[in-house]
Amino acid sequence: MICLKKYRGNRAGVCTGDAATEDARKWVHVFCFDKKLDLIPIGKELELFVQKKPGLSSFAKDPKAAADSLLELLEKAEAAVPRELQHDTPVRVGATAGLRQLDGDTPDRILQAVRDLLKNRGTFKSKTDWVTVLDGNQEGAYQWVTINYLLGNLGKEYPSTVGVVDLGGGSVQMAYAISDADAAKAPRLSDGENTYVQEMYLKGRKYNLYVHRIPCPGKCEIIDMVLTLMDPLIFSTQGSYKYGGVEYDASAVSSGSSLNACREAANKALKIDETTCTHMKCTFGGVWNGGGGDGQKNLFVASFFFDRAAEVKEVSFLDARKSSTNLWFLLSQLIYFFASLVHKYSYLRVENAAAASNRYSFV
């Protein structure tokens, strides 16, 4: 949900949101900027942030219920905008990976229900084409702009910017600025595919932004992958996991757990060792990596990368052993994260996990 408004002289407000994946969440942000794009407080805070679970795709069989689930967020956003300006404030809704993956006309029916909600019950200005599904490259680009804005990097030379790896509920995006020389080397993609490089002009400076939706699992697909390929990590757990309307067995194999076997399964699922690259500097499965360079020397990892990292801390071996049987989903995802960040996205071979942790920041 994105609302833009002009008020109080040179101030402008922005409300942003995301609502898509079944096991993820939908959220809304409201910001206020001055003419220099510096943040202005809303009350005692710099922002209004509200989130709610689940995402829109969990209402695949009931589009109206999907739209109605946004009401609370919409009301919070409206409360942050002066009443006399609400009718001039445009609202935009951008759904992401979870909605992209629904079958048939389900995404269109959900989006239409959201449009009807905004038209009939909302006070913001809305248009049909303002409610849409964002593609992965748009997600990555918006994430890159947001983080570099908050860090004060926009307007500087591209080596002063940071890259972003974002793990959502159903997809992974990577974005970072590259040189003119590397941008000129970008492979040509077939019709209907998004280009690897976008030109962006921000605060008077041009950036060549490498941004690509990596064709690999998001957080929810990781669990699917875990249940299909990572049985070696499960200890003595018995049960099941449901995602996308499919129930998966989550029972341990008779031979017991194996960290190495689990890591090998993660590498296999990520296609790390595949050699299908048709051009220089690929990551995996033939995906061009952008060429690397200074814009990628510092990476921020976001969304579910952060959520899982926040759940992990150093513990004694005995404490870890006591709780391990209840955390196998988390452990499986951490192994996936290590494999993807170290071997798949970093484009550098690191010797150990400590070296990898020094290369990434969490947002």
Over the chain (363 residues), the average pLDDT of each successive run of 10 is: 49 56 61 72 76 84 93 88 78 80 89 94 88 82 89 94 80 86 81 75 93 58 48 53 61 63 68 53 57 83 72 54 51 62 47 35 46
**Which segments are annotated as binding site for ATP?**
169-173
Write down the number of H helices and E strands in the chain. 12, 14
What is d(CA 256, CA 233) in angstroms, rounded to the nearest whole number? 8
What is the pTM for the complete model shown?
0.67
Q: What is the DSSP-derived secondary structure letter of residue 232?
A: G
Per-residue model confidence (pLDDT) at position 121: 87
Q: What are phi and psi of 130, to 5 degrees?
A: -90, -5
Cis peptide leading into 90, omega within 30 of 0?
no
Q: Active site residue: 139, 157, 193, 351, which one?
A: 139
The answer to whether residue 139 is catalytic is: yes
Per-residue model confidence (pLDDT) at position 174: 83
Domains and CATH numbers, the chain: 2-133 (3.30.420.40), 135-363 (3.30.420.150)
Among 149, 151, 200, 203, which Cα is nearest to 177's? 200
What is d(CA 214, CA 272) in angstroms, rounded to the nearest whole number? 13
Per-residue model confidence (pLDDT) at position 293: 81
Per-residue model confidence (pLDDT) at position 110: 94
**Which segments are annotated as binding site?**
169-173
As a dihedral over the C-alpha atoms of residue 169, residue 171, residue 177, residue 183, rounded to 10 degrees, the angle is -170
